[in-house]
Amino acid sequence: MSKLNIGIILGSTRQGRVSPQVGEWVKGIADKRGDANYEIVDIADYKLPLLGEADATEQATAWNAKLATLDGFVFIVQEYNHSITGALKNALDYARDAWNNKAAGIVSYGSVGGARAAEHLRGILGELSVADVRVHPALSLFTDFENGSVFKPNDLHLTNVNGMLDQVLAWSGALKTLRQ
C-alpha cells in the first residue's frame, strides 16, 4: 500500500503570523517518522476571496484539486476571539466533497492553548464529514512562544504530536477505503 498524503493546513493568512513556524515544527516531527507523505498547505497561497463576493473559479478549483490529493489533514489553528480565523473558515467553505471521509488532527495555540478555536473547528469538520481525532496538542502563547512571536515549544508536546499523527494516519487509512 502506498503512503498516505497528509496536508498540514496553515490556518492564518495575516502578516506576521506564526503558523508557518508551528507548521514547520509539526512537519519536521512528522517527516522523521517516515510513515506518510507530509506537506505544508498554506491557505494564503490560494488567495481565496470571501465566499460569494467575487468570481473565484480559478482559486477554488486549485484549492479543491489540492485537497483532493490529500488523505488527511493536520490543522494549525490559532485562536482569534475564541474561534478560528475568518480565512480558515472561508477556506473550509470553499470545498465540500474534497473534505469528505478524511481524518484530521488539530494543533492549536493561543492564550489558553487555542482550545476554544479547536472546539469550533471540530464542529465545522463534523459538518464536512471529516473525522477529527482526539489527541490535540495545545500550545500556549505564554510558555511556547517567546514574546508572542518566536515559537519555542516545550518538549512535552512531542508526545502529543506523535500521538495525534498516529491517530490521523490510522483514521486516514481506514477512511480511504470509503473513498475508493
pLDDT per residue as tens digits for the range 6-54: 999 999 999 999 999 999 999 999 999 999 999 999 999 999 999 999 9
CATH of domain 5-178: 3.40.50.360
Evaluate if residue 147 carries a pLDDT over 90: no
| Cell output for 104 | 484530521
Q: Identify the pLDDT of residue 20.
A: 97
What is the C-alpha to C-alpha distance for residues 109 and 140, in angstroms, rounded to an integer?
6
Domain borders along the chain are 5-178
Model-level pTM? 0.96
